[in-house]
Structure 1
Amino acid sequence: MSEAQLEALHFSDAPRIISGALPGPKTCEALALSARTESMARGGGRMPIAMDRAFGATFKDPDGNTYIDLSAGVGVSSVGRCHPKVVQAIRDQSEVLMHALEINSTRRTELAAKLSEIAPDGLRGDCITFFTQSGSDALEAAIKFAKRITGRHQIIAFHGGYHGVWNASGALTTGTAYRKGFGAQMGGVIHAPYPYAYRFPFDTTHKSAEQIAGEYVDYLLNTPYTAADDVAAVIVEPVQGEGGYVPPSPEFLQILRQACDRSGTLLIVDEVQSGAGRTGKMWAVEHSAVKPDMLTFGKGIGSDLPMAGLIMRSDLAAQIPDGSMPNTFAANSLSAAVALTNIAILQDPELDLLARAHTLGLEAQEYIRGFGSRFVGEVRGRGLMIGIELVEDPLTRAPLEPQKIGALMRFLMSHGVLMIPCGRYGNVMRVMPSLTITRGLFFRALDVFREALGSLEE
């Protein structure tokens, strides 16, 4: 498909601000109503923006301002919002079957078979899927099942990790905002360093961050007197998301796989944010050729509708008692139909979206490095999962101050671009657009980002 054909999948006037001051009057009304009626415990509730309509990698607010969205709904809109084929799938399926209880339904079964077909090596063709509504739910299921299968209770996760916000999944997540003041969560969690080379706390003169981090987990699992004597699973993001968009070298996951094999521990990869083609492969774990025992998915597989779940080896799934984990709305037939359509679009050879994500990602990284901004400490990523670490000083690597991040985001929004920060200091701007974004929209948004950096210089 040509760029001209892709242009038909987005609002043609993006970016365009017509209301003058932002937020505009109608958006202000929507924000005030939200503040009175909705909990702000959700992530972006206080952002001065409201979505009214969306199409592809663009959206409009209630005042008619049009934005380019480089967040894809935090990695959700893999094929773009309201893709015509997705909209048609919703229309077709809504006339046949939507809610099916937890009995068998044809769309859910069809989706499970498709996920087995596209799963990474080690799971492909010999796996079972447990469906959920969100990534947090999927991690809860993974933890519960891993404990049942192994008869063990400890879990190893990583500094900077985000795996959800419920009790068990929240215990794995290390973000202060999700933990502080909420009291004790699930016990038995051991956190280890993630190979975040730009801010790694140990000397990497003789060994890489991946070697040190991987060997530390091996030490925990396979050495006496480490207190990691009852570990059911190691849970890891193959590209760390909320922790700063950190892509480790393949060696890291390979060391983890070997360490888990030696100790009889399950290796669970969390692909909720990195899956669905975002890194240039269907699953980010495929960059390392590692075979996981379980894989959690969400976000981009469902795109416009909630869809998540856990894919596990068939021999492991056989050890889970029937009826031990009910989930009323999981794999609603409407969501399943949409997920099947999303996968078909991602696999469409004419579009070749995964290879395109790889190529566009490399070009974008080089383009951003070429800005020459003193605030850009590091540009990293895989495919269209790119992190831009912003610093006060490239030599000290001191994180860019929060008020400057706020000023940067206000500049971006005032010029019709939405980017969302992440990272342990909130100083990493993430570039994660829909895989169907046009080159024109993509680089136009990056040019606005360059201008925003220039405004900080001034």
Structure 2
Amino acid sequence: MIEAELESLNFTDAPKMVTPTYPGPKTAAALELSARTESMARGGGRMPIAMDQAFGVTFKDPDGNTFIDLSAGVGVSSVGRCNPRVVEAIRKQSESLMHSMEVNSSKRTELAAKISEIMPDGLRGDCITFFTQGGSDALEAAVKFAKRVTGRHQIIAFHGGYHGIWNASNALTTGTAYRKGFGPFMGGVIHAPYPYAYRFPFDTSHKSAEQIAGEYVDYLLNTPYTAADDVAAVIVEPVQGEGGYVPPSPEFLQILRKACDRSGALLIVDEVQAGAGRTGKMWAVEHSGVKPDMLTFGKGIGGDMPMAGLVMRSDLAAKIPDGSQPNTFAANSISAAVALTNISILQDPRLDLVNRAHTLGLEAQERIRSFNSPWVGEVRGRGLMIGIELVENRETREPLSREKLGKLMDYVVGHGVLMIPCGRYTNVMRVMPSLTIPRSLMFKGLDIFGAGLASL
């Protein structure tokens, strides 16, 4: 019954290609105009996709080709695009209040209270939310506030991390494309290894990658002469996103928590991509049982409208001076109304989307492994946050060549499926659809991906 309901929230003909070649003429014209008038500095600027209409996990381009989207707008569309309940919330709120500058508004305050209710243990019921428009903004605020409340200035982040593309947030991020030629960034950032077991640089025959990486941070924080002598916070993704969809065991965050407690540094979890139910729990940090001091959110909480923020323990928030961080458009009333609706859909016991993400994610991983493709080195993930590491050779783990990846992407898009690569070598295909994806569309999309692998 639920599957039929979820199927009804999508275009029924997906995937369907109506033009003899891709992109079709209207899409090609739209791409050409975009290239002449819009900055291609944005992440997906050069992708051969133009969206014209969207519904659920499906969308149409200007030529009428219909696609299955396994990317959810990089994890944004947690409840599907143009969900009728969200559309109604936008309509209703737009008739009463939209922009309210930074004074209190009923929807903004209602959302702050709801966020406090759904936070992980350690923040739930005793926290304050600072709203922003995007994840980069939330991380900027996290760094600024951590320095203020601790009186310290250094930040520890991790290799493979992605936390944004402004100043402090870009200093935390390690992707070459985001850094090269743009520096210098904020000083005082120390990068440590993330427990990416598949490509971990150290011997793991006696200790796990999680133990080694966690203990290294403990060493930095709590040993003399490491130069990490003024650390305000450790900022970590509980499941690493752009760095390759890497889900560490709970032990890693548990070691970080103890190390921070010993040193007095704050533990900040970046849940912008992993949060909002994607990993089978509302927040990915909940898989570890660790209590964070701060948490950043975005993407899936806002869905079709811009919404992000930083959540802090109340005692920490009390140390931030009033009026020290103005943000004109944060928690616009329409965005707040949409976020409240998204949360209500994620928490709907009848749909049970968060638990469903766990079970469907396991099924999806099994389907991918069943392809038995020589190009697949590892399948990993939690819930509907799945990474498929593609390699030239399983023994050497040499990353799949750009040429083969390009052919695979052409095949998948040309057959009506949108997937987005990530990873340090851009060789990890991610499966991160809306939590409302019907099983039928999930496996149609994955089988097209499997056929693409077979065609290489």
TM range, normalised to the smaller chain? Answer: over 0.9
Q: Which residue of 1 aligns with 2:416?
A: 416
Corresponding position of 1:85 = 85
Shift of 1:2: 1.7
Could you tell me how far apart the structure 1 residues matched to 2:142 and 2:405 are? 35
Displacement, 1:203?
A: 0.1
Show structure 1 runs of 4+ deviating over 2 A: none
Output the CA distance in 2 between the equivalents of 1:4 and 1:337: 27
Q: Distance in 2 between matches of 1:276 and 1:22?
A: 34
**CA distance in structure 1 between the partners assigned to 2:406 and 2:313 by the alignment:** 44
- What is the match of residue 315 of structure 1? 315
Q: Structure 1 counterpart of 2:317, which letter?
A: A
Question: Distance in 2 between the 1:111 and 1:197 partners?
Answer: 38
Deviation at 1:63, TM superposition (A): 0.2
AA of the residue aligned to 1:247:
P
* SS of equivalent residue, structure 2 residue 148: helix
Note the 1:35-184 alignment, pairs <5 A. Answer: 35-184=35-184
Paired residues in the alignment total 456
Residue 407 of structure 2 corresponds to: 407
- Give the CA deviation at 1:342: 0.1
Partner residue of 1:213? 213
Any idea what SS the aligned residue of 2:393 has?
Answer: coil
CA distance in 2, matches of 1:228, 1:10: 51
Q: Which residue does 2:381 correspond to in 1? A: 381
Q: Tell me what 2:439 maps to.
A: 439
Distance 1:343 1:183 in 2: 38
Counterparts of 1:222-237 in structure 2, within 5 Å, are 222-237=222-237
Q: More displaced, 157-166 or 365-374?
A: 365-374
TM-score, normalisation: structure 2: 1.00
Report matched runs for 1:175-214 at 5 Å: 175-214=175-214
Q: CA deviation at 1:296?
A: 0.1
Deviation of the 1:403 alpha carbon: 1.4
Give CA deviations for 1:294-315 in whole Å, capped at 9, x if unaligned: 0000000000000000000000
Match of residue 289 from structure 1: 289
User: Which residue identity lines up with residue 394 of structure 1 in the other structure?
Assistant: R
Give distance in 2, aligned partners of 1:168 and 1:20.
Answer: 47
Q: Partner of 1:27 in structure 2?
A: 27
Percent of paired sites with the same residue: 82
Distance apart, 1:427 and its partner CA = 0.1
Task: Describe the SS at the equivalent of 2:269.
Answer: strand
Tell me the secondary structure at the aligned position of residue 359 of structure 1: helix
The amino acid of 1:16's aligned partner reads: K
1: CA distance, partners of 2:357 / 2:296 = 21
| Inter-partner Cα distance in structure 1 for 2:172 and 2:411 | 35
Q: Secondary structure at the match of 1:101?
A: coil
Aligned partners of 2:290, 2:218: CA distance in 1, in Å?
Answer: 16
Q: Tell me by how many angstroms 1:183 deviates.
A: 2.1
Task: Show structure 1 runs of 5+ residues with no match.
Answer: none
Separation in 2, partners of 1:378, 1:331? 39
Aligned positions of 1:300-311 closer than 5 A = 300-311=300-311
Query: How far, CA to CA, are the matches of 2:54 and 2:2 in structure 1?
Result: 22
For 1:132 and 1:351, locate their aligned partners in 2 and report how far apart those are by CA, in whole Å.
Answer: 29
Q: 5+ residue gaps in structure 2?
A: none
RMSD value, Cα:
0.4
Q: For 1:36 and 1:97, how far apart are their aligned partners in 2?
A: 36
Q: Deviations over 1:334-354 (max 9, x none)?
A: 000000000000000000001
